[in-house]
DNA sequence: TGGGAGTTT
DNA sequence: AAACTCC
């Protein structure tokens, strides 16, 4: 029987922040989203004071006084994530990174009776190497490993490691007590449709007829039934596949009606999108540009336009992408609205190498295409070495004031020499 | 009152 | 294009 482990970092962003501020240990720490907009991570202590997703400006003063609030520090979290993953590879070669704070581990052929001890050791070593606390869920499918992971976090007796045997009586009881909406991939609307069929608990879904589920829903939900029975049927290759679309979007941090400001933002997002394309080795056949007003401001006129532009030839050239994005914006732009957010998506991506060039109708010569690829490569390399935005196309800078709001930023302790933590010994 | 990616309707 | 799902 092949066991899959899910390692999930506890309160990841809040835990990262605490590693370098030991004086915050056992204090309520909450991390804010981009733009300091809402709460996206909480230490256990903070969970009693503030809801997940709570808008920052709605946090009651009493809670605010107790909370340690910080802006998101992705340079720190990304580096800490890498450290955790590196340590996980000491415990199995089969590590599948699922998100910044979660990895699936394959333990094929590992003796079952030693697995829990092995994972206890894993928790200890990750904590020692990185300062990050993790929980481990173990079972024979990813879905059950997720369930096991939740139990490992919730029930102290497991001490952070929970193994669920798919056919045990304990698993049956757990699934009978588990609302179907607590499962991975089942949320509000799907949950409602399931409850109309009389399926309210995870156990009821496990016992449902897969064919019937497939007919009413889709193959994804059918797989979920098998996953609950402990049969691993989530295609892991999906996780490694190149992205099919790439989005870059951001709030302005405040409302704006200035066309120059919006144009600069769109150009910057388009340039960033082109960079992401090149990093993945893809070209886009189309791009989409969208604008949004603030939908929470019911007193203001609303306008949420989006436009897809087919590119004449698939491209990842910054100039081509930026040009197309600007043309799209031209069509979308309406004076008089107060815009909150703008974004650019790279669509219909294909691998650059496997792309069949349209030999009959190419306005660009091969030499020209090669020149542009070289210029882009140099630009990417400089930006990688010297920091994002070192080299860019004219006009993508914009006015400095649409930058992200991050007033409570902690230091990039692990990725910047000038922000290293300093320890004094007396 | 987040951003990024994906799927479904 | 919008709605929904995940993290």
Spatial strand order in the sheet of A29-32: A39-42, A29-32, A68-70
pTM greater than 0.85: yes
pLDDT tens for each residue of chain A, 426 residues long: 799 999 999 999 999 999 999 999 999 999 999 889 899 999 999 999 999 999 999 899 999 999 999 999 999 999 999 999 999 999 999 999 999 999 999 999 999 999 999 999 999 999 999 999 999 999 999 999 999 999 999 999 999 999 999 999 999 999 999 999 999 988 878 888 898 889 999 999 999 999 888 888 888 889 999 999 999 988 766 666 788 889 999 888 788 999 999 999 999 999 999 999 998 889 999 999 999 988 888 888 888 889 899 998 899 999 999 999 999 999 899 998 999 899 999 998 988 877 665 544 455 566 776 777 777 778 777 776 666 666 766 655 544 445 567 889 999 999 989 999 888 887
Q: How far is the CA of A368 from the C1' of B6 (A)?
A: 35
Q: What are the phi and psi torsion angles at A162 (to 5°)?
A: -130, 125
CA distance A340 to A259: 13
Which residue approaches B4 most closely, CA to C1'?
A247
Domain A12-76 - what CATH class? Answer: alpha beta
What would the DSSP string read from start to end of A35-55? GG-BEEEE-HHHHTT--TT-B
Cβ pair A183, A224 in contact under 8 A? yes
Which residue approaches B7 most closely, CA to C1'?
A220
Minimum CA–C1' distance nucleotide for A33:
B2
Positions of chain B reached by protein Cβ under 7 A: 1-9
Q: How far is the CA of A208 from the C1' of B2 (A)?
A: 37
Q: Do domains A4-9+78-228 and A12-76 have the same CATH topology?
A: no
What pLDDT is stored for residue A398 in this prediction?
46
Q: List the alpha helices (DSSP H) in A89-186.
A: 112-130, 142-154, 169-177
Element (H, E) at A254: strand A246-256
Which residue ranges make up each domain of chain A? 4-9+78-228, 12-76, 245-351+361-386
Taking the C-alpha atoms of A405, A411, A417 and A418 in order, what is their torsion angle to the nearest 10 degrees? 80
How many whole angstroms from its chain centre is CA A273?
16
What pLDDT is stored for residue A270 in this prediction?
93
Q: How far is the CA of A160 from the C1' of B3 (A)?
A: 30
* CB A127 within 7 Å, strand B: no
What pLDDT is stored for residue A317 in this prediction?
92
What would the DSSP string read from start to end of A348-395? EEEETTT----TTS-SS-HHHHHHHHHHHHHHHHHHHHH-TTSS--TT
What pLDDT is stored for residue A237 in this prediction?
63
* CB A188 within 7 Å, strand C: yes
Q: Measure the N-to-C terminal CA separation of chain A; round to a whole number of Å.
A: 55
Q: How far is the CA of A187 from the C1' of C4 (A)?
A: 9
Beta-carbon contacts of residue A366 (< 8 Å; ≥ 6 apart): none
Element (H, E) at A178: none
Q: What's the CATH number for A4-9+78-228?
A: 3.30.70.270
Q: What's the CATH number for A245-351+361-386?
A: 3.30.1490.100
């Amino acid at each position: 029987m092949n066991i899959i482990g899910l390692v999930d970092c506890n309160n990841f962003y809040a835990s990262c922040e605490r590693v370098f501020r030991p004086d915050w240990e056992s204090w309520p720490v909450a991390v804010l989203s981009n733009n300091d907009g809402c709460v996206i991570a909480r230490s256990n202590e903070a969970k009693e004071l503030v809801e997940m997703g709570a808008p920052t400006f709605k946090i009651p003063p009493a809670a605010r006084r107790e909370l340690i609030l910080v802006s998101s520090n992705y340079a720190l979290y990304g580096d800490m994530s890498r450290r955790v993953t590196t340590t996980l590879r000491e415990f199995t070669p089969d590590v599948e990174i699922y998100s910044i704070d979660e990895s699936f581990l394959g333990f094929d052929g590992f003796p079952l009776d030693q697995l829990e001890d092995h994972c206890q050791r894993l928790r200890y070593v990750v904590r020692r190497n990185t300062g990050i606390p993790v929980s481990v869920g173990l079972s024979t499918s990813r879905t059950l490993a997720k369930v096991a992971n939740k139990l490992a976090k919730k029930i102290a007796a497991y001490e952070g490691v929970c193994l669920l045997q798919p056919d045990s009586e304990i698993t049956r009881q757990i699934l009978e007590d588990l609302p179907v909406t607590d499962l991975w991939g089942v949320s509000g609307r799907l949950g409602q449709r399931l409850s109309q069929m009389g399926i309210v608990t995870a156990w009821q879904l496990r016992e449902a007829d897969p064919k019937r589920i497939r007919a009413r829903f889709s193959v994804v939900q059918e797989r979920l039934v098998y996953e609950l029975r402990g049969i691993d049927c989530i295609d892991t290759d999906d996780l490694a596949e190149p992205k099919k679309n790439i989005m870059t979007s951001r709030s302005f941090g405040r409302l704006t009606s200035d066309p120059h400001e919006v144009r600069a933002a769109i150009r910057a997002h388009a340039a960033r999108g082109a960079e992401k394309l090149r990093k993945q080795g893809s070209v886009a056949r189309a791009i989409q540009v969208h604008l949004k007003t603030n939908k929470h401001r019911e007193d203001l006129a609303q306008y949420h336009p989006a436009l897809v532009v087919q590119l004449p030839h698939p491209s990842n050239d910054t100039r081509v992408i930026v040009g197309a994005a600007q043309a799209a914006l031209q069509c979308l732009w309406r004076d008089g609205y107060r815009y909150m957010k703008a974004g650019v998506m790279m669509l219909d991506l294909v691998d650059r190498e496997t792309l069949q060039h349209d030999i009959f109708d190419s306005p660009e010569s091969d030499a020209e295409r090669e020149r542009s690829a070289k210029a882009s490569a140099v630009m990417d390399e400089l930006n990688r070495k010297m920091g994002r935005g070192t080299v860019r196309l004219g006009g993508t800078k914009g006015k400095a004031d649409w930058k992200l709001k991050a007033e409570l930023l902690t230091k990039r302790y692990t990725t910047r020499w000038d922000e290293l933590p300093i320890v004094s010994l007396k």
